[in-house]
Structures are given as C-alpha cells and as structure tokens.
Amino acid sequence: MLRPTYIDNLPNNLVDLYSQAETDIIIDIARRLTTYDFFIPSAEHQFRKLQDMGLLYDEILKKLTATTGIAKEQLESLIKEAGAETLKHDDSIYRKAGKTPTPLDSNPAMQLTLAAGIKKTNSLFENLTRTTANTATKQFENALDRIYMQITSGAFDYNSSIRMVVKDLASKGVATVQYSSGHIDYMEVAVRRATVTGVNQTAAKLQEARADEMGSDLVETTAHAGARPEHQLWQGKIFSRSGKHPKYPDFVSSTGYGTGEGLCGWNCRHNFFPYFEGISEPAYNKAELEEMNAKNYTYNGQAMTEYEATQRQRHIERQIRKWKREYAGMEAVGMPTDESISKISAWQRTQKDFIKQTGLKRQTEREQIPEFGKSQAGKVSASIKNSASKSGKGSIIDNNKVGLKDNADQNFEKAFNKAVDHGKKTGNECLLWLDANGMEVVKVATGNKDSVAINQETIDYLMSAKENTVISLHNHPKSSAFSPEDINIACHFKAVKEMRVIGHDGTKYYLEIGEGDRPSMNEIRKEYEEAKNKTHDKYYKIFIETGDTAATWKEHSNEINEAIAKKFKWNYRREIE
C-alpha cells in the first residue's frame, strides 16, 4: 500500500526540475520575440519565422532531452522505492495471514513487472519531450504571427504587442500537448500527472502480482480527506478482485481500476491493500469516512469540504506562480514588471488570509518557480515600497505653453488634473480633446494601463476641424514619453496643434508637429525602433544597475522622442516637476 501523502509528494522534485526548463523556455521565447524584426514584408516574415521556429525547436528539444535524462534516473529511483514500500506494507498483512511472500529481489516475475513499469513511465516522459518541443514551437509561431498582425495593422504598438504575448505565455505556461478536442495540457500538470500515475500504477501492478501469488481475493482501498467526489464513493471500502465474493462488490467495476478516471488512474492518490476476513480490521469506519467529506472549512463565510478547500488553495498557488513567471519573463526582456509585482503581492496576501481562515498548512514550495529566488523577491518588495512612496506625490501642472487666451491656463490645469486623477484611481489612461481655451470638445475616452484608443466620433471631429485648433492631452501611468501611436495621431490629423502627456510622477511632455515632416505610421515605427536600438545597450546597463524598469524606460523613451523629433523637425520638450 502507498499512503495518499506518500503519493502526493512523489512529483515534487520532478516538477521543480521541469519547472526550471519551462521558465528557461519562456524566457528564451520572450527574448527571441524582442529581437525579431516585425517591420519586414509578409513574405520575408514567413521565411524568417520558419528559420526561427527551427532554431527554437532544436533548443527546446536539447533542453528537454537533458532534463528527461536526469528525470529518468529520479523516476527509476522513485518507482523502485515505491515498489519496495508498497510490498513492505502488503507483505506484513500476508504474513499475519500465515502466508510467505517471496522477496522482491528473488522474484523474477515481479522484477519484470517493475522493469515494465519503469519503461512505461520513462516512455511517458520521452513522449512529453517530443510533444512539448512541437507544441511550444507552435506557441512561438502563433506569438510571431499575432505580433506581426497587430503591428502591421496598427492595432497595437510594438511594446504593447510584445507585452501582451509574453503575458499570455507566462500566464499559461509551456504547452506540452494539444488534443483534438482543443484541450491543452501545460507542463506542470503533465509532469505531475505522469509521475503520480506512472509510479502508482507500477506499484499497483506489483500488488496485483503479489495478490495472485498469495491467492488473495479481497482488497481494501485507502481513503483521504479532499478526495474527488466520484472517488469518495468507493474509498475506504472492501472489494473482491474476482467479483465472485457474495459479500463484497466487484473491485474493477466499482472503483474503475484500470481506467484513467478510476482507482490508480490519472493523478489518483488512492491505493489498495490485502484484506482477510476474520483477521483484518477495516482501516476506516463509517464515521471516519463521513468526517473526511464534511464541510469543516470556512472561507469568507463559505463552508467547504477539505477537497474544496485544497482546490481553492491550489488555485491561489497557481496564480502566484503565474505572476512570478510573468515577472521573470518581463524582467528578462527589460519590460515593465509593475503589474506582476502588484499581482504577486495581492495573491500572497490572499493566500495568507486563506490559510488563516481555513487553518490549512501553507505549502510554499508549490508557490515557487525557478528564476524567482530571494533576489527577485527582494526587488518585488522594494518596488512595491517605491511605488507606494511615489503614489503620494502631487501633480500640479504649470500649463503655459499654448500661448492662447489667459483664462485657458486654468482650464488646461483642470484637464491635466482630471487625467492624472483618473489614472491614479484606475491605473489606466484617459484621453481628452481640448480647444484653444482648454475646453473639452468631444467625450473623454478611457483605455487600459498601456493605451487609449480614439473612437469614431473623435476621428470625425478631427477630420472636420480646422488646422491647429485642437490639443490632445492624456496621462501615462508609467510616466514615459510619447509612443509611436501617440506620434502618429499628431502627424495624421492636421487639426492637432499640440499633443501633451502628463506622467503620474508629474513629468510633462509636449509635441508639436508645426512645419515639420508628417511621416506614415510605418516610417514612425521604423525610426522609433532604430532610435531605440541605438540606445538599447546604454539603458540596459542602467536597468541592470538600478533594477528600476519604469524609470529606465522613462529616460529611454525621452531620448527616443528627442532623436525622432530632431530628424523630422518637430518641437518636442519635456518638463520634470
């Protein structure tokens, strides 16, 4: 017999091993995305995509093959230890019944059973390597196509597109296999299931062989709190292997033994052991089994069984790992980590509260991922404190650059404050369109934390308005300078006299096209990326030294804007409060 707690702890080391590989793959994909040239013709994109997919496939296969080599050694050890453990318990029962089981080392038939189990489980991991290499490469292909389409269509800017894709990849993890139904298994789930199922089924086969050797018919299933509802029906009960006993029901048909959904199936922590009438005593009585299924846990006023409570705990753990993966991915490519920092902190608070209310034990090992150790945790803690201190700053804007009527100053100041107040309350951007007196001319548009779009009503207004009569004003939560999309609006609509941005830290940016050039969106993006790449090493070094992504990007984006404004003869300036 294998106890449920023994089975539950089986995959931990292997999950950690493959989690490292998964994190490495996510970071590798993220870095490849940031170095890919999305500003190329479609035919060239298709050609280069295939090249990069081939290179990535080879890297993933190489990494996972090495990981699986280590895993095989651990698996063989796990299976042998589990086999010895289960027979040790079962053999003690047989001896009490007056039987003499043959030692495992002296039993050729059982040695073959053990070897077959090791081979079968190893093949699961070999197959995992192949399918993961294929499916993860497909994830990369989908990411390339998604970003290429978003950028070339103008739907999103380069940075927003990259960020969304990296977020999605980190959120889900690395896919291992996609079924015809559309269901996708991700790495952690696949490794945990393969380990538990492979080890438990091999142990069960040894137990069957031993029961045949001893001529034993009756078995009792183990039981544990938190079992799946369908498994609660048969746990802790006695069954007949032959199905011919007049008192006890058939083992296979009652428990689903031998199927993925049944006893010793996918992720099942149940096992069984021999039972002899007149000698054995049932391990569980009715009251104990009922107590395992009782709703003894309460969270926010909701009564839960242990199964429901542990499922909730697993969900919280997955959320913490998800946001840590995103942090690792974003940090690796020098992109903002603000959201992941906030989410990690929020889910950790939720976990602490959940543990306090339910009394369950916190399993911190289930919340960890590689590439997120003490150093990263320290950065998150420091960033949270830094963000909290910055949020208390005021943002009174000294608006004096339009050169219009004197009473416009107060109106523009109100507009700036309105944008910043909205941003600080929601964390999102909002966009105002003002006339020469600082009065709103169309309805305020609200967006997300990274962008805000203009609607058709605004487009119609800008198309019909006279030249140099409208001022665009919006907030940037991270206090960075104009994006390519911002610049494109100023260039495309001649009605826009000036574009203004206010950062949440009080920094102000102004852009006026004036008599300068009005390039296309593609030209703007091209020059923007060239200016960005030229200064990349400089700001990457700053980021490495400071660890402050937002502050680094703030300065980097300003230098990019200065470079392209000079090239296209625009009036651009920044004012730091």
pLDDT tens-place string over residues 305-315: 888 898 899 88
| Interatomic CA distance for residues 33 and 275, integer angstroms | 59
Instruction: Give residues with Cβ within 8 angstroms of 47, minimum separation 6.
Output: none
Query: Within this chain, do residues 159 and 265 fall inside the same structural domain, yes or no?
Result: no
Structural domain including 473 reads: 408-575
Paired tokens of 537? 């090493």
pLDDT of residue 436: 84
Q: Which pLDDT band, with edges at 50, 70 and 90, does 399 fall under?
A: very low
**In this structure, what are the phi and psi dihedrals at residue 573, rounded to the nearest 5 degrees?**
-155, 160
Query: Within this chain, do residues 166 and 224 fall inside the same structural domain, yes or no?
Result: no
> Mean of the pLDDT values across residues 292-313?
87
pLDDT of residue 292: 84
Q: Is 393 a member of any domain?
A: no
Hey, what's the torsion of the CAs at 184, 23, 32, 381, to 10 degrees? 120
Query: Within this chain, do residues 430 and 375 fall inside the same structural domain, yes or no?
Result: no
CA distances from 383 to 254, 340, 341, 481 (A): 55, 11, 8, 21
pLDDT of residue 381: 67
Provide the pairing of β-strand 508-512 with 571-575.
antiparallel
Q: Is 400 a member of any domain?
A: no
> Mean of the pLDDT values across residues 173-191?
79
What are the pLDDT digits (tens) for 457-515?
Answer: 777 678 778 889 999 999 999 999 999 989 988 998 888 999 999 999 989 999 999 98
- Picking from 144, 178, 212, the residue at the C-terminal end of a domain is 212
Query: Within this chain, do residues 196 and 313 fall inside the same structural domain, yes or no?
Result: no
What are the pLDDT digits (tens) for 335-389?
Answer: 878 778 888 888 888 999 999 999 999 988 888 887 676 667 776 666 555 544 5
Query: Within this chain, do residues 162 and 20 fall inside the same structural domain, yes or no?
Result: yes
Say yes or no to pLDDT of 175 above 70.
yes
CA neighbor of 136 nearest in space, from 10, 21, 266: 21
Q: Is 332 a member of any domain?
A: yes
> Mean of the pLDDT values across residues 168-192?
80
> Mean of the pLDDT values across residues 75-93?
93
Q: Is 395 a member of any domain?
A: no
Q: Is 298 a member of any domain?
A: no
Higher per-residue pLDDT: 186 or 95:
95
Query: Within this chain, do residues 161 and 260 fall inside the same structural domain, yes or no?
Result: no
Query: Within this chain, do residues 169 and 269 fall inside the same structural domain, yes or no?
Result: no
| Interatomic CA distance for residues 64 and 127, integer angstroms | 11
| Interatomic CA distance for residues 372 and 563, integer angstroms | 36
Say yes or no to pLDDT of 445 above 90.
no
| Interatomic CA distance for residues 507 and 503, integer angstroms | 5
Instruction: Give residues with Cβ within 8 angstroms of 339, minimum separation 6.
Output: 326, 449
Q: Is 441 a member of any domain?
A: yes
Query: Within this chain, do residues 376 and 429 fall inside the same structural domain, yes or no?
Result: no
Q: Is 401 a member of any domain?
A: no
In the chain, the number of structural domains is 4
Question: How many residues does this entry show for the chain?
Answer: 577
Paired tokens of 144? 């390339």
Query: Within this chain, do residues 340 and 369 fall inside the same structural domain, yes or no?
Result: yes
Query: Within this chain, do residues 363 and 225 fall inside the same structural domain, yes or no?
Result: no
pLDDT of residue 392: 38
- Picking from 226, 258, 292, the residue at the C-terminal end of a domain is 292
Cβ atoms 29, 139 nearer than 8 A: yes
Query: Within this chain, do residues 371 and 245 fall inside the same structural domain, yes or no?
Result: no
Q: Is 417 a member of any domain?
A: yes
CA distances from 467 to 162, 407, 415, 457, 515 (A): 35, 22, 22, 18, 12
| Interatomic CA distance for residues 512 and 401, integer angstroms | 11
Cβ atoms 25, 63 nearer than 8 A: yes
- Picking from 155, 177, 212, the residue at the C-terminal end of a domain is 212
Query: Within this chain, do residues 261 and 317 fall inside the same structural domain, yes or no?
Result: no
Say yes or no to pLDDT of 44 above 50.
yes
